[in-house]
Structures are given as structure tokens and as C-alpha cells.
Amino acid sequence: MKPPILIIDDEKSICVSLSLALQVEFDVSWESSPLAAMDYIRGHHVALVLLDMVIGETDGIEVLKAIKEYNRDIAVIMMTAFGDIRSSVSAMKLGAFNYLPKPLDIEELQIHIRQALEMRRLNAKVDYLSHQLTERYQHGIVGGSPSIRRVYELIDKLKDVDSPVAITGESGTGKELVAKAIHYSGKRKTEPFVAINCSAIPEGLFEGEFFGHMRGSFTGAISNQVGKLESVGGGTIMLDEIGDLPLGFQGKLLRVLQEKNFTPIGSNKARSLEARVIAATNRNIPALIAGGQFREDLYYRINVVEIKMSPLRDRKADIPALCEYFIKKNNVQQSKQVKGLTRKADDLLRDYDYPGNVRELANALEYASIVCDGEWIGCGDLPDRMTKAAACRGPDAPDPRGKSLREAEREVIEAAYSKHDGRRSEIARELGISERGLWNKLKEYGLIGRDRDA
């Protein structure tokens, strides 16, 4: 199948001559109107656009912006008869692959087209592999803030080594997700992953829980029991809330980690420790050490590499991506068709401080998805503790983020129409388009007859 190419130039003779020259290798179409070109792009698969820098009264840079806003993967080569270096540099910054001066050398143009399409293919492959790696490594970790990117880097570096890892951070920041990402993306992924909540085990039961016991070793031991360290085999054991380990058991655990073996209660035969140990805590271990509640030597044994999980209030740039992730997840689980957040709900979630971190955001959006009756989650759908924020005051409206360019354009025109009470000349002046262009848009969106100047 030939790669589909669209030529946008107001000189029809150029469009025809380029089409004839390129049609052997490419599937070529052309449009002389920017509006018609954008309609064509919305309705057809286009791999590359040859775009004139000036199309009648329209600046090609604005058309380039519209193309990239609609689909950033479309390759664009700018054509200019004016040698405008400043505009060409602007085009490159906005994502144009290259710019070529007119008159065009056909052989040179074909080379640039092939290069642009190859770059597009490679970028698509990189995006696919990046998505695969993200799915493989994240296991629910979402975001692109600097602190989260650092977490991704550490996961990649730690996945195939055996060094102990300590994951620290407030409750709800995703410590167990990171531990699972390390395990399931590395060499131990086919072995078990076991998480133990140290704060949930009664103090007298730690040895039996970790090491196991033999039948008759104590009252009530009516059968042999395999401990967690043995059952996990060569997998990963996560010691969650390790700051709550009893001081008396800490020394025994330290010895196991140092000697790489342990002995079940009532047995005289040691078992090898094959598992990798990852510790996690929301407590300040150095402060516990200073207070005599945690062994310093155990701390240094488990904390060869530390991964610090930032609270959500310190990485609010990740909130939009997290919201999108949870809304899509809830749509699948609840068979809903929620499109997103209203402007006010979006503002509220961006401003909220999240004492419960990512877990609180996930729970809030799960609740909102359940109670939401429409396609957009509004402030009234969020938990009461959040809706007290000032962001919810005033009228609510759907957020245009994620809408098509056509939908967003219609909203802008309708807003200007209402502001100027239908006076076409004033509407056109505010939007920066001709009155004829405005009339065409009013006709396109079924607004003819509502404008006062019509």
C-alpha cells in the first residue's frame, strides 16, 4: 500500500504537478483550502502533508499547529517561496520535519518524503515499545513528573539484581506497586511475589510466620507449617511497614539477611534464603533509630538502595494522567462511558492536597464514576471532603481537553457569539478571521440566522 500524502497549496497548478510527479510512489491527494484540508485530514488516514508556508491569506504555521493538535504523528514538510528563515525555524519548533524552498527539486523532495516517513515509522515503533515497557514496568504506576521518572529508572536498574531495596513514602503513594514492578519486570517474574504487612502480625507470631515451624514444636503446632521465607522460593518477599517490626525480632531478621539462611521453629535443619527482600515503610526510620526503636545495622542491611515515593501534593503534574488512567479503568470495571472531568472538577482535583495520596485520588474517582449519571464527572460527584474546596463555586462545564478540534472550535465560536450578541463583525474581529470565514463557520455549525448581521 502506498503511503498517503496530502498536498496543501492554494496554487492548484503546483498541486497537480506535484501529484503527477509523486503518484508512482505515493497515494497523493491535494486541497487548496486550509479548511477543506483539515476536513480531509479528519476523515482520512494521512501519513505526511506537504504544506505551503502561505496559503492565500492563511499562515501555513497556523495550519501546521492545527494538524499537530489533531494528530502529532502526521509528518509535515513545509514549502516556501519566500525563504522566510524565521517562519521556517518556527515551523521546525512546532514539529515540521523540514522546510524546502520553491521551486522544488522533485528528486530532493522524494528523498525528504522518504526520510520523514521513515522517521514517522521509527517514532511509532519507539512509542509502541515505550508503551510496552510502561505496561510491563508500571503495574499501575502512572505519571511523567521528574520524581516518577526517577522511579522508573531505578525500577529498570534494580529489576535483575539481588540487592535489598527500601521503598519509603507516605501511605497511598504506591510503594507496593513499585515492589511489584521490580519483581514482575525482572528475572524473578515467574516466581511468587509475597507481601507481608508487618504491622498486622501479633508480636509473638513473627518467627512462625517468617520461618515456619515443625509439628509439636510448641502447644498448638499440630502440623508442619512452611514459613513465608521458604514458600516464596526464589521470588520476592516484600516486608511492608517494616518500621513496625518488634525490636526483638529485628536481630533475628538481620542474621537471616546476613547469612542467607533460616531455621524453622523446632527444626535443626537450616533452609537457604533464595528470595529477594524488598522493605517498605511510611515511617521515619532514622528517627526510630534515634529513639532506640529500630536497629541501625538492620536499617543499613535493608537499605542498600532507597526509592523515595513523593506524595501526590508534590507531583501534581501527574494528576491529569492519573485521572485519565483511573477513569478509563473504572469505565471498564463499571461498564460506564465517562469521558472525563468538568472544568471545575478538574480544577478542584488539581488544587486538592491529597492526605491519602494516589490511593485517595483513585478511591475518589471510583466513587465519582459510580454516582455520575452523565458523561462528565462534576464537583457534585466527588466525595464531600473534596467538594468543600473553593474551586467548586460558580458554574460548571465540560472540560474541552480531550475533545476534537472541531468540537473545541465550535465552543469558541459559540462563546464569542454569545459575548457579542451575534454581531458578526465583532465576532470576526475577536476571532481574528474574516467575516466571510466566520459566515462559513456559522453555516458549517448550523448557526446561520442566529447572528445579528446575517
Instruction: Tell me the per-residue pLDDT of 433-445, one tens digit each, with 9 for 90 and over.
Output: 777 778 877 777 7
pLDDT for 40 equals 92
Rounded distance, CA 454 to CA 21, Å? 44
Average pLDDT over residues 127-145: 62
Q: What is the pLDDT of residue 389?
A: 52
- Model confidence at 360, pLDDT cuts 50, 70, 90, reads very high
Give CA–CA dist 79/83, Å, rounded: 9
- Over residues 317-327, mean pLDDT: 90
Cell output for 255? 542474621
Q: ∠263-269-272 over CA atoms, to 5°? A: 60
More confident of the two residues 437 and 314: 314
pLDDT for 407: 64
The identity of residue 350, as a single letter, is R
pLDDT value for 367: 95
pLDDT at 130 exceeding the cut of 60: no
pLDDT band at 82 (very low <50, low <70, confident <90, very high): low
The predicted pLDDT at position 135 comes to: 52
d(CA 302, CA 426): 69
H/E stretch holding 139: none
Q: Residue 139: what pLDDT?
A: 61
Q: In this predicted structure, what is the pLDDT of residue 129? A: 55
Does residue 195 surpass a pLDDT of 60?
yes
Return the pLDDT at 215: 85
pLDDT band at 406 (very low <50, low <70, confident <90, very high): low
- In terms of C-beta distances under 8 Å and separation of at least 24 residues, what long-range contacts does 386-390 make, across chains too? 386/348, 386/349, 386/352, 387/348, 389/348, 389/351, 389/352
| pLDDT of 293 higher than 90 | yes
Q: Is 80's pLDDT higher than 50?
A: yes
Task: Say how far apart CA 176 and CA 357 lie, in whole Å.
Answer: 14
* Residue 86 banded pLDDT, cuts 50, 70, 90: low
pLDDT classification of 137: cutoffs 50, 70, 90? very low
Which domains occur in the chain, in start order?
4-128 (3.40.50.2300), 152-309 (3.40.50.300), 314-392 (1.10.8.60), 405-444 (1.10.10)
Say whether pLDDT at 312 is over 70.
Answer: yes
d(CA 310, CA 148): 8
Top-confidence residue, 93 or 417: 93
Mean pLDDT, rounded, for 268-280: 91
CA 440/CA 454 separation, integer angstroms: 12
pLDDT for the residue numbered 362:
94
Max alpha carbon distance in the chain (Å)?
Answer: 97
Evaluate the CA torsion angle 363, 365, 370, 372 in order and state its sign.
Answer: positive
| pLDDT band at residue 451 under the 50/70/90 scheme | very low
Within 23-71, where are the H helices? 34-43, 60-70
* Mean pLDDT for the chain overall: 85
Q: Which pLDDT score is estimated for 398?
A: 55
Q: Mean pLDDT throughout 206-216?
A: 87
Phi, psi of 109 (to 5 degrees): -60, -45
Mean pLDDT of 125-153: 70
Rounded to an integer, the average pLDDT of 203-210 is 86
